[in-house]
Amino acid sequence: MRVPKVEKYIKYRNKLKVGTMNTTIKIRENDKKEFDLLQSEFVLKVGKKVTQQELFSKLLDFVESSKGEFFTRYVSLPLSNRDVDKFRKLQSDWGVVTREKEVDEVLYGAQ
């Protein structure tokens, strides 16, 4: 069975030892201003100075803890007819009868 690339990445990422490396990312001028404002607001509300690197890490931690909500913001609903057709083409009958309980166990864990 092939493991999807994303799943491989997640497993790999969880095994990584956290270290420091210098990387530069390009950001828009408006985003930089927003980030600076967020850093200032953090200092005012939390009462503790934080570097931009620390703030960036905290933002990533926050997104990691609420991924579902994060990704939901960028999903376009309702789906277009074209997208619905794409999903329907992925469906196939495997000849296996599945009970609702089995689906619930897979989606929500054993109960």
Exposure letters 79-95 (e unless 16+ CB within 10 A, then b)? eeeeeeeeeeeeeeeee
**Residue linked to tokens 């931690």:** 61
Identify the pLDDT of residue 17.
52
7-25 pLDDT, tens digit per residue, is: 555 555 555 555 667 778 8
Residue 50 · residue 43 · CB < 8 Å: yes
Which amino acid does the sequence have at 1? M
Q: Judge contact between 25 and 12, C-beta under 8 A.
A: no
The model's pLDDT over 76-107, given as tens digits with 9 standing for 90+, comes to 778 889 989 998 999 998 888 888 998 888 88
In this prediction the pTM is 0.51
In the prediction, which pLDDT does 46 show? 95
Q: How far is CA 79 from CA 69, 83, 86, 92, in A?
A: 18, 6, 10, 20
CA atoms of 70 and 64, how far apart (whole Å): 9
